[in-house]
């Protein structure tokens, strides 16, 4: 007797075990007329719809010939923050560059001010609501960064919020310490001292299990390659794995640094050099691309996903959800941008938001794939096939989402053509 049986599946999408590099990203198993069963939070059976008819389950779900995939994995978010930055829209329209807004004390620094001012409980409540929206869009595992505290108290406050969200929600959150995200006003002109301050926090963060990864914003006017190397080395010495915001705006060489340090991921990579792309193909670092950010910053040049895959790199996609440079948690929208702006194929895109995304955050063995014995993180999409989601952009196509076999979200009907009856929600 299974707990849940999803039957009558039009297409069941089964990414291979990864990380998938280069040509391996071009393959994706798509099975038709299938069914899948869960038991005690795990995938317990996968077979044809015909075979499924003799199985017994407490709950049967008719997929109505639609598409079922693993739960999506979002490997780069700035989930926890205070305030919002809609006032910067006018500056953007006036053509003020992102780094110039930051230099003038806005951008990240305005979110830092708001985050420092909010209580831990308020930050938790706000992030909790966002998390529910994220799950509603088909994501069952995600990474969440600090980086809007920039002092001991406020950074730890953010990390504690991520820890609590992970413990109290059904989703899996992977925590990243991004202390070196910007230079706070009180350290202006004293960048080295600030970086040392952030390095001094590492033993406490590691000992208390407040983060698994660290990250640094390696960019003109923020942190240099040399500083990034030092921070990554200090992190690794304490058993923390590393990530880096690399070559987003200027080609500083963060991609090469990431591979040489064995970073789990190098993120953004819009301005990555040819050598950096070759290094990715040779190394173990996953390239996490964030086309939503390029779109939101109004730029024309996207990361060279085609070249990266064709040369042999492992590519993942993420939202970069944050209050400044990418204000969306809809990973399906990012899938469309990957197709339209980076010429990724639908198969490559699905591998990038499942198996490879999981590997970018150290969850390759528990998330991103579906096979018997694996965690039952599953999405039923209201679409006829896997190509449909990148094609029909900016909508939420999720119909039902299961995390560890438990339904965490389900689309209810609208009442546009009929008035709801008492007790009938929408």
- Enumerate binding residues for ligand IZC (CB under 6 A): 78, 107-108, 111, 217, 245, 322-325
Closest CA to 342 of 385, 386, 296, 292: 292
User: Of 18 and 254, which CB lies nearer to ligand IZC in the complex structure?
Assistant: 254
Beta strands, E only, 54-149: 57-62, 67-70, 72-74, 139-145
Could you tell which of Zn ion, ligand IZC, none binds residue 316, using a CB distance below 5 to 8 A set by kind?
Answer: none
Residue 81 — left, alpha, or beta (φ > 0 → left; ψ -120 to 50 → alpha)? beta
Q: Distance between CA atoms of 216 and 232, rounded to whole angstroms?
A: 8
Task: Write down the least CB distance from residue 38 to Zn ion, Å.
Answer: 33
Task: Assign 131 to helix, strand or coil.
Answer: helix
CB of 86 to Zn ion, least distance (A): 19
**Helix (H, G, I), strand (E, B), or coil: what is residue 145?**
strand
The site partner of 325 among Zn ion, ligand IZC, none (C-beta below 5 to 8 Å per kind) is ligand IZC
The three-point CA angle 183-187-191 to 5° equals: 60
Burial class (CB in 10 A: 0-12, 13-18, 19+), 158: buried
CB of residue 293 to ligand IZC, shortest distance in Å: 7
The residues binding Zn ion (CB under 5 A) are 320
Nearer to ligand IZC, 81 or 350 (CB): 81
- Per DSSP (E only), the strands in 186-309 are 213-214, 241-246, 265-268, 286-289
How far apart are CB 296 and ligand IZC at their closest, in Å?
A: 10
In the chain, how many H helices and how many E strands? 16, 16
Dihedral Cα 92, 94, 95, 99, nearest 10 deg: -50
Closest CB to Zn ion among residues 221, 312: 221
> Quick one: 155 or 320, whose CB is closer to Zn ion?
320
Residue 256 touches which of ligand IZC, Zn ion, none (Cβ within 5-8 Å per kind): none
Which does residue 324 bind out of Zn ion, ligand IZC, none, counting CB within 5 to 8 angstroms by kind? ligand IZC
- Tell me how far, at minimum, the Cβ of 119 lies from ligand IZC, in Å: 20
107 contact choice in Zn ion, ligand IZC, none (CB below 5 to 8 Å, kind-dependent): ligand IZC
Question: Residue 118 CB, nearest distance to ligand IZC (Å)?
Answer: 15
Query: Which residue has its beta carbon closest to Zn ion?
Result: 320
Nearest residue to the partner ligand IZC, using Cβ: 324
Q: Nearest-CA neighbor of 213 among 169, 159, 164?
A: 159
Nearer to ligand IZC, 39 or 126 (CB): 126
Tokens 């993180």 found at? 377
From ligand IZC, Zn ion, none, interface partner of 37 (C-beta below 5 to 8 A by class): none
In the list Zn ion, ligand IZC, none, the entry touching 253 (Cβ below 5 to 8 angstroms by class) is none
What distance in Å separates the CA atoms of residue 86 and residue 51, rounded to the nearest whole number?
53
CB of 284 to ligand IZC, least distance (A): 24
Nearer to ligand IZC, 52 or 318 (CB): 318
CB 195 within 8 A of CB 223: yes
Is residue 358 classed as helix, strand or coil in its secondary structure?
helix
Q: Which is nearer to Zn ion, 320 or 377 (CB)?
A: 320
């Amino acid at each position: 007797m299974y707990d849940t049986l999803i039957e009558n599946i039009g297409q069941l999408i089964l990414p291979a075990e990864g990380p998938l590099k280069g040509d391996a990203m071009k393959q994706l198993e798509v099975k038709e007329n299938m069914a899948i069963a869960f038991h005690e939070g795990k995938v317990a059976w996968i077979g044809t719809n015909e075979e499924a008819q003799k199985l017994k389950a407490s709950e049967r779900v008719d997929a109505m010939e639609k598409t079922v995939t693993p739960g999506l994995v979002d490997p780069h978010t700035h989930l926890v923050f205070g305030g919002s930055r809609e006032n910067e829209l006018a500056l953007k329209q006036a053509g003020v560059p992102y780094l110039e807004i930051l230099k003038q004390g806005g951008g990240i620094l305005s979110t830092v001010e708001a985050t420092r001012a909010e209580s831990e409980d308020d930050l938790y409540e706000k992030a909790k609501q966002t998390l529910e929206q994220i799950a509603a869009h088909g994501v069952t595992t995600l990474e969440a960064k600090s980086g809007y505290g920039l002092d001991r108290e406020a950074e730890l406050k953010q990390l504690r919020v991520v820890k609590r969200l992970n413990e109290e929600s059904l989703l899996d959150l992977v925590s990243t310490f991004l202390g070196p995200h910007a230079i706070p006003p009180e350290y202006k002109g004293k960048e080295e001292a600030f970086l040392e301050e952030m390095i001094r926090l590492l033993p406490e963060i590691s000992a208390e299990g407040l983060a698994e990864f660290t990250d640094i914003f390696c960019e003109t006017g923020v942190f240099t390659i040399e500083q990034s190397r030092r921070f990554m080395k200090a992190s690794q010495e304490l058993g923390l794995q590393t990530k880096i915001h690399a070559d987003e705006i200027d080609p500083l060489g963060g991609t090469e640094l990431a591979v040489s340090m064995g970073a789990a991921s190098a993120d953004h990579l819009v301005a990555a050099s040819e050598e950096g792309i070759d290094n990715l193909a040779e190394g173990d670092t996953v390239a996490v691309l964030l086309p939503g950010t390029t779109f939101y910053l109004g730029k024309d040049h996207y990361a060279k996903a085609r070249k990266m895959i064709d040369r042999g790199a492992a590519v993942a996609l993420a939202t970069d959800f944050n209050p400044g440079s990418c204000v969306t948690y809809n990973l399906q929208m990012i899938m469309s941008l990957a197709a339209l702006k980076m010429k990724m194929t639908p198969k490559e895109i699905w591998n990038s938001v499942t198996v490879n995304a999981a590997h970018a955050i150290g969850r390759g063995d528990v998330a991103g794939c579906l096979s018997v014995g694996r965690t039952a993180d599953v999405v039923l999409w209201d679409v006829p096939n896997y190509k449909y989601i990148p094609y029909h952009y900016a909508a939420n196509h999720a119909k039902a989402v299961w995390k560890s076999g438990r339904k965490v979200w389900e689309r209810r009907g609208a009442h546009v053509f009929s008035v709801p009856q008492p007790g009938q929600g929408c």
